[in-house]
Structure 1
Amino acid sequence: MKTITREFSRTFADRNWGFITQEFSERRTSRVGFLLLENFSLPCFTQALDVLVTANLICPGAVHVHTFSHNHAEVMSDLGIPIRPDTPLTDVRLSNLDLIVICGGLRAARTVPNWLSSLLKKLSKLPIALGGLWNGAWYLGVAGLLDGYRCAIHAEQRTALAERAPYAVVSQEPLELDRNRMTSATPNGAFDMMIRWLGYGASSGLANAVLDTLDSDQSKHRSFQKHQHHKVSKPLREVIMLMESNLEEPLSQIQLGQLVGLSARQIQRLFKSQLSTTPQKYYFQLRITEARRLIQNSNASIFDVSIACGFVSCTHFSRSYRAFFGHPPSKEIRYEI
């Protein structure tokens, strides 16, 4: 019997890894490099790196990440943990990048060595975005590469940078993105910076998927992340919350309506006008997506997952799963638990 292929609605698709992978297949890979300076902020670096590594987990090959240091030597972080770079700092390697981030830290030396100043000026002439973490903006500013740009730097060095780079606009914000300059002053800012870069260099859908995966408290990062229901009225938002809370035993439209004080027809109209789909489709896609997450990230059996997500028939569950993801649940990748 021929398998029917089904697609996620656009409104719901950004929450689903399967859709993101298909969407990204036609986009080019984003190439990001991190130049580690002695005593760089390890928390800033790992927050930024986590975003990119997770992007590759969701969409393999979405981002190529390189770490550099002067002379390809091991670099000591501010937490006393050494990091060994994986890529030599050569012109050929650098010219292939889309973004290079200077990773500074509280105890990183403010003196800008000649090799770094020359390198930054060379990079500024290439079609490469320049970034800085913690006090990374200091090195860009001293090299004259922030003149006319807004920038973020840790509070300890704001005054010093304003004096040293008078034509730069030193912000009090933890993150500044101004054209081809991206600077962050805190670990949270580094996270947000990479999410924003991912949305620009790869796709907004992939950026949203990474944010949905990593950040349980997304309120800190709403400056980038459009809320999944940013155009959704309060009544419809309440309906969706009820759906999300009742996957094992899905509620009927009549039950949903009774709980929020709406008729089934009113709920239909809200989904149509605000999300361009039907409540039935939205609820079903919510359940099938949660089923995939459970299979990937738990040891639960396929049968238990199907029950947990409101499927009374394993046959129906398997057929629906294949229709959306291109393979049965038994062939899904399970990450080690």
Structure 2
Amino acid sequence: MVERRQFSGCMQGKNLRFLEANNTAPVQQTRVGFLLLEHFSLPAFTQVLDTIVTANLLRPKLFCSRTFGLGNGEILSDLGLVIRPDAQIGPEALKDLDLLLICGGYRTELKADEQLISLLKLASKTDVCLAGLWNGAWFLGAAGLLDGYRCAIHPEHRPALAEISKATQVTSEPFLLDRDRLTASSPSGSYHMALEWIKGLHGKALVEGIEDILSFEESRYRRTKASPNVSVSAPLREVIKLMDTNLEEPLEMEQLAVYSGRSRRQVERLFREQLGTTPQRYYLELRITEARRLLQHSEMSQVEVLVACGFVSPSHFSKCYSSFFGYRPSKEKRLSR
């Protein structure tokens, strides 16, 4: 029986959906509500929604979501698509939420009536985290709920927020998480805001898994990366690039050191301090992860895959694959067919 191996943290996210597919451990579900305002930014809304839906693909039932309107009618998005919310927002709805996102847009009117102001204040008092997308932060500011906070808002609406909420630090950042306030100024900012929020709840590996899924559709056959090792130093990034471009004929440690202009001890220290693993282990995990991708998304045979990923024999490849994924490479699902 092959002993199971665990991916190190830096590669765990890319393989999360394969390693934890049968995980039935109970989870604490986070309840998310979207308050859709007239002419709200549909891309900003869907960026957040897609992110939490993808998180549920990796770890089922982590999140549940509902959409709300200020009334009972349909709401027109900025793209002209009509959305019918699940329910009208009210005090009772707040009892079932952990996060409420105010979804604004470029043409969303900066006007908050007393009912909305009271509702947002009640949400704050009941420990519901509050978020604003596009110009959603303006409504939080109008309710006095951004005093002492840093926030992000679309550039068009920064002066308006600064005027109505003078105790708020209005920034030019694309997104910000400041304690129990989350704000984003654009669809891209909304996506990264959601990722950062999820990382705080469930860790970096889950976020890396989400990024891997949402960036992969660019090509089924060419390797793509969401944000390749943005958290590592330039010297370590150079070593990882060398590994990444030399999978078929893996470089020896001495070669990695020489080509990167570092000593072997320096390279090992970079991996240990920044990724919590060894260069050899990272290299193996990189190759076995690429092998899984090729088996799933290409027409290459098992032998062609093992050669492309630098394994010396079918038996060695099968043993490594089984140790990480719990089954032989011949059992891998061929998604390309």
TM-score of the two chains, using structure 2 as the length reference: 0.82
Residues 176 and 182 of structure 1 are in contact (CA less than 8 Å); yes or no, is this contact kept in structure 2?
yes
User: In 2, distance between residues paired with 1:309 and 1:138?
Assistant: 52
Q: CA deviation at 1:41?
A: 0.9
Corresponding residue number in structure 1 for 2:328 = 328
Map 1:118-133; keep pairs closer than 5 Å: 118-133=118-133
Distance 1:229 1:144, change over 3 A: closer
Code of the aligned partner of 1:138: W
Map 1:31-50; keep pairs closer than 5 Å: 31-50=31-50
Map 1:236-275; keep pairs closer than 5 Å: 236-261=236-261, 267=267, 271=271, 275=275
Q: Secondary structure at the match of 1:34?
A: strand
Distance 1:30 1:21, change over 3 A: farther
Q: CA deviation at 1:123?
A: 1.1
Q: CA deviation at 1:335?
A: 5.2
Corresponding residue number in structure 1 for 2:185 = 185
Percent identity between the two aligned chains: 49
Corresponding residue number in structure 2 for 1:52 = 52
Map 1:1-337; keep pairs closer than 5 Å: 2-17=1-16, 21=20, 28-86=28-86, 89=89, 91=91, 93-214=93-214, 227-230=230-233, 234=235, 236-261=236-261, 267=267, 271=271, 275-332=275-332
Residues 13 and 19 of structure 1 are in contact (CA less than 8 Å); yes or no, is this contact kept in structure 2?
no
Q: CA deviation at 1:6?
A: 1.0
Code of the aligned partner of 2:12: A
Q: CA deviation at 1:11?
A: 4.5
Give deviations 1:232-282, integer Å, cap 9, x for gaps.
x62x44332111111122223344345345666765565456655433222
User: In 2, distance between residues paired with 1:3 and 1:93?
Assistant: 51
Distance 1:217 1:154, change over 3 A: farther
Q: Secondary structure at the match of 2:182?
A: strand
User: In 1, distance between residues paired with 2:231 and 2:326?
Assistant: 25
Residues 14 and 209 of structure 2 are in contact (CA less than 8 Å); yes or no, is this contact kept in structure 1?
yes
Q: CA deviation at 1:15?
A: 4.5
Residues 31 and 99 of structure 2 are in contact (CA less than 8 Å); yes or no, is this contact kept in structure 1?
yes
Distance 1:200 1:300, change over 3 A: same
Residues 16 and 205 of structure 2 are in contact (CA less than 8 Å); yes or no, is this contact kept in structure 1?
no
Distance 1:298 1:173, change over 3 A: same
User: In 2, distance between residues paired with 1:202 and 1:255?
Assistant: 37
User: In 1, distance between residues paired with 2:20 and 2:202?
Assistant: 11
Q: CA deviation at 1:194?
A: 0.7
Q: Secondary structure at the match of 1:31?
A: strand
Residues 19 and 325 of structure 2 are in contact (CA less than 8 Å); yes or no, is this contact kept in structure 1?
no
User: In 2, distance between residues paired with 1:24 and 1:270?
Assistant: 36
User: In 2, distance between residues paired with 1:266 and 1:168?
Assistant: 45
Q: CA deviation at 1:110?
A: 1.9
Q: Secondary structure at the match of 2:147?
A: coil
Residues 24 and 202 of structure 1 are in contact (CA less than 8 Å); yes or no, is this contact kept in structure 2?
no
284-293 vs 12-21, which moves further = 12-21
Q: CA deviation at 1:297?
A: 4.1
User: In 1, distance between residues paired with 2:317 and 2:210?
Assistant: 26
Distance 1:77 1:273, change over 3 A: closer
Q: CA deviation at 1:77?
A: 0.8
Code of the aligned partner of 1:3: V
User: In 1, distance between residues paired with 2:333 and 2:86?
Assistant: 28
105-114 vs 241-250, which moves further = 105-114
Residues 47 and 187 of structure 1 are in contact (CA less than 8 Å); yes or no, is this contact kept in structure 2?
yes
Q: Secondary structure at the match of 1:127?
A: coil
Q: CA deviation at 1:310?
A: 2.1
Structure 2: gaps (5+ residues): 216-223
Q: CA deviation at 1:314?
A: 3.2
Give deviations 1:188-224, integer Å, cap 9, x for gaps.
22122111111112222212333355467867xxxxx
266-275 vs 49-58, which moves further = 266-275
162-171 vs 187-196, which moves further = 162-171
